[in-house]
Amino acid sequence: MQPNLKCDVVVVGAGPAGSTAARFLAKNGIDVIVVDKRQEIGAPKRCAEGIRLKALEKVGLKPNPAWAVNSIRGAVLYAPSGKQLKTVIDDSGGYILERKIFEKHIAAEAIRAGARYMVKTLATGVMKENGYVSGIRAEYMGDEFEIKSRLVIAADGVDSRIAKSAGLDTVNKVTDYHSGFQYEMANLNMNDSDMLHIYFGDNIAPKGYVWIFPKGKDIANVGVGILGLKSDDGNRAKDYLDRFIKDHPEIFKNSSPIEINAGGVPVSSSVDTLVADGLMVVGDAAQQVNPIHGGGIALAMNAARIAADIATKAIRENDLSKEKLQEYEKIWRETDGARMKKLLKLRNFLEKLDDNDFEKFADILKGEDIVRLTGGRYKFLLKLFMKKAPKMLSLAKKFLI
Ligand SMILES: Cc1cc2nc3c(=O)[nH]c(=O)nc-3n(C[C@H](O)[C@H](O)[C@H](O)COP(=O)(O)OP(=O)(O)OC[C@H]3O[C@@H](n4cnc5c(N)ncnc54)[C@H](O)[C@@H]3O)c2cc1C
């Protein structure tokens, strides 16, 4: 029989968001319990595993070759015709992670700081007292039990049920999500295994892209994201990926998958509210994902760091009200949230382009322009369109201004 438990903070989910929140809380001397329904933290992965060095540093992590398995210095973008645009990542690049090891590492760091972890433990819903979330109900190996707490942090990913069970609406329209499908593949014949490779085109991935993220010389995550569950002609993400692989024998002829990953990626980066009395929502559960490339690890960890800081203050001041916890939401919306709002405009603009427009892009843009665009700087684009692509100007004005 699993006994009922008590702590300051229950974190639901031991992904990048949950374990980062737990690590910072525990470091601050807060009594924290993390529950995860998976029997093994980090597996199965639902991720292409790309992250920038800057994002790791922001949450105090130093890349370790055990989990930062391949250094990346930039990206090659491919227009539908195959024309390439190379861009180098500023501020010393990034990595492809081995997430199964990375997630265990950040969980272990949280445990070393004092957090308690429970794996194979499903949170089934929140408990409430006087309108405040006061803990969770959970199941472990057939036993039902309760964990009473002063605060619950919902870090339970894109399928979050915890925020919903507390009464928050964190689910968006189907078209606010990408369907992601990926193979990790071995024995690829790749050029530039220190670059991300990203392919655009209506026949390749409608309103999305195919990626090859190298984990080494001949191993890579090869995946696709398309908007919604199926394209207009009824094809699923898997169909697009299989076709891409078949159409590129020069890369894939002698390769095979060693893993399949699939999952939803929230790309609208917006939910109405991130807190309630006694509750905070972080990471994919709060749709804190980059609307341009669907990357969420960096945002999840940074949001968790901010949430842990505000949660610590709230606990010390014995005020777990929504108003107090809103300080987290405010900071997030003024920083990463504001950046994501800008990038959502770029996404809405890109979704209106056809293959010819992407070809034009490849003709007129330089590598450093991609860095400017993904940094949310668009003014230069209007000037460029005025000179070199007047047809795109009104569209750009409508969506980017
Ligand atoms: C195909 C694909 C490729 C991607 N590629 C990248 C990439 O290259 N780079 C990048 O930055 N991001 C990428 N992402 C997004 C990234 O994986 C997420 O943004 C990131 O995992 C979010 O972290 P999180 O901690 O919020 O959620 P998650 O990593 O989803 O963790 C949530 C955790 O909560 C647990 N959980 C859920 N419900 C419960 C419950 N009721 N009780 C207990 N535990 C529960 C889950 O088991 C899980 O461990 C990709 C996503 C997909 C689908």
Taking only the tens place, the pLDDT of each residue in 74-117 is: 999 999 999 999 998 766 789 999 999 999 999 999 999 999 99
| pLDDT value of residue 91 | 65
Residue pLDDT, tens place only, 270-280: 788 999 999 99
Alpha carbons 191 and 303: distance in angstroms, whole number: 35
pLDDT-derived band of residue 172, with 50, 70 and 90 as boundaries? confident
Test site for ligand 1: of 46, 141, 152, most ligand atoms within 8 A of the Cβ: 46
Alpha carbons 207 and 81: distance in angstroms, whole number: 16
| pLDDT value of residue 194 | 95
Q: Which range, of 83-92, 147-156, 289-298, 321-330, averages the lowest pLDDT?
A: 83-92
| pLDDT value of residue 1 | 82
| pLDDT value of residue 159 | 85
Task: DSSP letter for 172, please.
Answer: -
Alpha carbons 361 and 349: distance in angstroms, whole number: 13
From the CB of 18, is ligand 1 less than 6 Å away? yes
Test site for ligand 1: of 61, 141, 297, 302, most ligand atoms within 8 A of the Cβ: 297
| pLDDT value of residue 307 | 98
Q: Is the pLDDT of residue 391 over 90?
A: no
Bridge partners, 219 (sequence order): 186
From the CB of 118, is ligand 1 less than 6 Å away? no
From the CB of 294, is ligand 1 less than 6 Å away? yes
Q: Is the pLDDT of residue 68 over 90?
A: yes
- Find the mean pLDDT for residues 174-178: 80
Q: Which range, of 11-20, 289-298, 316-325, 326-335, averages the lowest pLDDT?
A: 289-298
- Find the mean pLDDT for residues 181-186: 98
Asked whether 18 and 9 are in contact (CB, 8 A), the reply is no
- Asked if omega into 44 is within 30° of 0 (cis), the reply is yes
Question: Per CATH, which fold does 5-61+99-172+268-339 belong to?
Answer: FAD/NAD(P)-binding domain (3.50.50)
Give the contacts of 156 (CB within 8 A, at least 6 positions apart). 12, 13, 18, 123, 162, 163, 285
∠ Cα 131 6 60 (to 5°): 95
From the CB of 15, is ligand 1 less than 6 Å away? yes
- Length of the chain measured in residues: 401
CA-nearest residue, atom 3 of ligand 1: 47
Alpha carbons 372 and 204: distance in angstroms, whole number: 25
| pLDDT value of residue 269 | 66
The structure tokens listed for 81 are: 């015709």
Test site for ligand 1: of 72, 284, 305, most ligand atoms within 8 A of the Cβ: 284
CA-nearest residue, atom 27 of ligand 1: 157
The structure tokens listed for 122 are: 């499903």
| pLDDT value of residue 70 | 97
Write the CA distances from 343 to 38, 131, 350, 389, integer angstroms: 33, 36, 10, 21
Write the CA distances from 367 to 169, 199, 200, 259, integer angstroms: 39, 15, 16, 32
| pLDDT value of residue 283 | 96
CB burial of residue 274 (10 Å; 0-12, 13-18, 19+): buried
CA-nearest residue, atom 2 of ligand 1: 47
Looking at domain 70-95+174-266, its CATH architecture is 2-Layer Sandwich (3.30)
Which atom of ligand 1 is found nearest the CA of 264? Answer: 53
| pLDDT value of residue 89 | 76
Q: Is the pLDDT of residue 361 over 90?
A: no
> Can you tell me which residue has the tokens 């990357």?
295
Q: Distance from the CA of 161 to the center of ligand 1, in angstroms?
A: 14
| pLDDT value of residue 233 | 79
Test site for ligand 1: of 156, 183, 274, 305, most ligand atoms within 8 A of the Cβ: 156
Alpha carbons 63 and 152: distance in angstroms, whole number: 30
- Find the mean pLDDT for residues 370-398: 87
Residue pLDDT, tens place only, 106-161: 999 999 999 999 999 999 999 999 999 999 999 999 999 999 999 999 999 998 89
Q: Identify the CA nearest to 34 among candidates 146, 116, 101.
A: 116
| pLDDT value of residue 88 | 87
Q: Distance from the CA of 380 to the center of ligand 1, in angstroms?
A: 35
Radius of gyration of the chain (CA): 22
Question: Where do the structural domains in the chain lie, given as residue ranges?
Answer: 5-61+99-172+268-339, 70-95+174-266, 341-400
From the CB of 161, is ligand 1 less than 6 Å away? yes
Asked whether 347 and 292 are in contact (CB, 8 A), the reply is yes
| pLDDT value of residue 36 | 98
pTM comes to 0.96
The structure tokens listed for 185 are: 């593949």
pLDDT-derived band of residue 326, with 50, 70 and 90 as boundaries? very high
Residue pLDDT, tens place only, 250-287: 999 999 999 999 998 888 767 889 999 999 999 999 99
Mean pLDDT of the chain: 93
Asked whether 47 and 37 are in contact (CB, 8 A), the reply is no
Q: Distance from the CA of 262 to the center of ligand 1, in angstroms?
A: 11
From the CB of 214, is ligand 1 less than 6 Å away? no
Q: Identify the CA nearest to 206 among candidates 180, 181, 232.
A: 232
Q: In the structure, how many helices (H) and strands (E) does the chain have? A: 13, 20
